[in-house]
Amino acid sequence: MHYLTVLQSSALSRALTLALTHVALSTAMAQTDTSVVRAIDVQPVVVATSRAAEADPVTATTIDSAQLRAVVVGQDLPFVLQSASPSLLAYSESGTNFSNYGTFRLRGIDQTRVNVTFNGAPLNDMIDQGVFFSNLTDLANGTASVQVQRGVGVAQNGTASFAGSVNLQTASLASAAPGGRLQLSAGSFGLLRGSVEATTGLTDQNISVMAKLTSFRTDGYRNYTGTRSFSGQVGAAWFGAQDVMRLNVLAGRTDNQLGYIPVPKPLADLDPRTNVNDSTDYDDFGQALIQLDWSRQLSPTAALGVMTYYGTAGGDFFTGFRDENNTLTQINYPLENRHLGAMASVQVAEVAPGLDLSVGAHGYRFWRRNWEAVSPDMGSPYYDDRTVKDELSGVAKVTYRRGAVELLGNVQVRSVSMTFSPDAAMAAALPVHSWLFVNPFVGITYHLSDEQSLYGSVGRTGREPTRFDLLGGTTINEANIFVLQTPNTVRPEYVVDMELGYRLHTDEIDLDVNGFMMQFTDEIAPIGRYIDQWFVQLRENVSRSSRWGAEFQATWRPAHNLSVHGTATWMQTNIEAYTPADLGVTYADVEAVLSPRVLGSLWVEYQPVDLLGVRAAIRHAGKSWLDLANTPSLTLDGFTVVDLAATLHVQRHRLTIQANNILSEAYAVNGAVTTFNTATVPALFMQAPLNVVVMLEVSL
């Protein structure tokens, strides 16, 4: 077994051991009386630096625990988010809602440009900037709330909030009741899932502990795209008179059969389950995050928060190639990540009448190793490189309230550097790539009444290129090394985001409507030369591009047992001009790829009797382009999907049945362009037709 696989298989057990050791030490040390008044908030101070408050001039959707509980049956987080947030579309490479590289796009922008945090700690891979939810399955189960900020927003921990941010927050352990919960799920395509959770509640030593373990398997909808996954989470907290200490451990390991190559449309039309990856392609990846934070009440109006965190991820990624005699050559593309960081924040209320201030700092180092070997000779890689990324950032936030007006100002300064150490065969010393970003945000909220408000904001942020943006592939080779030898061959990309919105919140209606305008400078796009022998397409900058539109979300409660929810997006995109390398043709005023003009969802929840709740939902996405030239034959068709669900409550237990895509709509959410029988055709990731999930939850 490859040594990294051994490392990953023990990651969860090591993480759990650390957590239990910390709890034991805290129990031995804590002597605070349980009657002490805890003045500070039960959530970490550093979490607040990445969250928008309800009155802030930030375009955001916050999904609380009740909303999550109504839809979560173990599916990946992106599929939970798309049911509640405008402008968000999710898909997976297996075609189901259960893992195998589920991801999403926000306002048509890919997920590597979205900041994702877990209790304030970054989850993004800092070098490629994506989040692999497949490594950490069952994230949504048990989460207290998720906030999706669209646009620049105020999230500042980790990668740039270029398209927006997703902030996950776990439940407070201060108020958690002792007990447990068991979930058992079964469903279409061989889905079997089990999850068990236990909570101590607050002990006499002012300590509270929770632990959750989940395992599931599925065969996937598309051929040989099955998943086997194991994940766990431990949380522990100690509450003192002025202090709160918290430890969170998150870990998982997943084996996926692979289906990452989009399928030519003629083949998908014949059989939507087609997978053109080799049937032997698979991966074995794990990931863990350990975070320890301390919050202290400095005074009745001031609080300090400090967090340290350590993350690790990696594993094996096997891809097979067959020659004309069908002889298989299998190459492993493993990687290893390590991520060590710390952040601190001080919040002071009423520095002056109506004026609140917070300042914070964040620093981290991220290590990456990429190597390649031919199976089964895994101990002798033919390629091996290293990348290191460092960041130091500071942020200041000011809120001022006077009468009906609230002003919010936020500025972040980020210093970022990446150092590349290529394979020894390249014999090249490369310069350090470094960038400095100053990211300001200013907004105003005007309260028309206790129930209505208007807001507007302007923010600017910059995003450095990822490793893949610089290399156009996975290795440093003769085709791309000149990009690393000459910094800013691929320049950072910038966005100026303007938001204007109206909010209405009453006992009967919640309504949020906003318009947005995003102006991009030097957006990074795959328009450079394609070097076939190295499997590389170089990235280049597009001088000017934009996205603008309107978003809508509403909840109407006409009766105590009936609620109607809806989201809608209308969006227009524009790329002023770009010239693909080697073509000698300039395209002007074209639209961005994978960015439907229209998105919408509508769902109704009805509780005819106390024991039973039913839910009907419809989701729609319009047509989108698959190539930047906007070729009419290269599009992704629009689709409409209808889902149904019912939940039976018996005391504290429940039985949930979800039927997804009940009309078996044939649809794809993501795709690309490929060549098939000498013709250029769409290539698709088809999603599943009618599929059913049944979950039994027993509360102990």
Instruction: Report pLDDT digits (tens) over 253-269.
Output: 999 999 999 999 999 99
At 6, give phi and psi (nearest 5°).
-60, -40
Question: What confidence score (pLDDT) does residue 39 get?
Answer: 37
Question: What confidence score (pLDDT) does residue 176 get?
Answer: 87
584: confidence class by pLDDT, cuts 50, 70, 90: confident
Query: In this predicted model, what pLDDT tens digit does every residue of 460-506 receive, in sequence order?
Result: 999 999 999 999 999 999 999 999 999 999 999 999 999 999 999 99
Question: What confidence score (pLDDT) does residue 378 get?
Answer: 87
Question: What confidence score (pLDDT) does residue 44 get?
Answer: 66
Question: What confidence score (pLDDT) does residue 482 get?
Answer: 95
Q: What is the mean pLDDT of residues 521-541?
A: 91
The pLDDT of residue 362 is above 90: yes
3-class DSSP state of 630? coil
**What is the pTM assigned to this prediction?**
0.92
3-class DSSP state of 557? strand
Question: What confidence score (pLDDT) does residue 43 get?
Answer: 55
Query: In this predicted model, what pLDDT tens digit does every residue of 17-71 receive, in sequence order?
Result: 333 333 333 333 333 333 333 333 445 676 666 789 999 999 999 999 999 999 9
Question: What confidence score (pLDDT) does residue 5 get?
Answer: 34
Q: What is the DSSP track for 356-423?
A: EEEEEEEEEEEEEEEEEEETT-TTS-SEEEEEEEEEEEEEEEEEEEETTEEEEEEEEEEEEEEEEE--
Measured CA to CA in angstroms, residue 272 lies from 209, 268, 281, 667, 688 at distances of 46, 4, 19, 9, 9
Q: What is the mean pLDDT of residues 356-378?
A: 95
Question: What confidence score (pLDDT) does residue 698 get?
Answer: 97
Q: What is the mean pLDDT of residues 114-142?
A: 93
Query: In this predicted model, what pLDDT tens digit does every residue of 175-230 receive, in sequence order?
Result: 889 999 999 999 999 999 999 999 999 999 999 999 999 999 999 999 999 999 99
Question: What confidence score (pLDDT) does residue 16 get?
Answer: 39
Question: What confidence score (pLDDT) does residue 535 get?
Answer: 80
Average pLDDT, the chain: 91
Assigned CATH class of 3-699:
mainly beta
Q: Which percentage of the chain shows pLDDT scores above 90? A: 86
Query: In this predicted model, what pLDDT tens digit does every residue of 655-684 receive, in sequence order?
Result: 999 999 999 999 999 999 999 999 999 999
Can you say how many angstroms the Cα of residue 687 is from the centroid of all Cα atoms in its chain?
Answer: 20
Q: Compute the residue count for the chain.
A: 700
Sign of the CA dihedral with 524 first, then 530, 531, and 532 last = positive
Question: What confidence score (pLDDT) does residue 48 get?
Answer: 67
Under 8 Å between Cβ of 48 and 154: no
Give the ranges where 72-219 is alpha helix by DSSP (H): 77-81
112: confidence class by pLDDT, cuts 50, 70, 90: very high
Under 8 Å between Cβ of 547 and 108: yes
Question: What confidence score (pLDDT) does residue 428 get?
Answer: 84
The pLDDT of residue 10 is above 60: no
Q: What are the residues whose beta carbons fall under 8 Å from the beta carbon of 539, sequence distance 6 or more?
A: 465, 468, 469, 470, 472, 490, 524, 525, 526, 527, 528
Q: How far apart are CA 220 and CA 277, in angstroms?
A: 14
Question: What confidence score (pLDDT) does residue 582 get?
Answer: 78
Query: In this predicted model, what pLDDT tens digit does every residue of 61-111 receive, in sequence order?
Result: 999 999 999 999 999 999 999 989 999 999 999 999 998 999 999 999 999
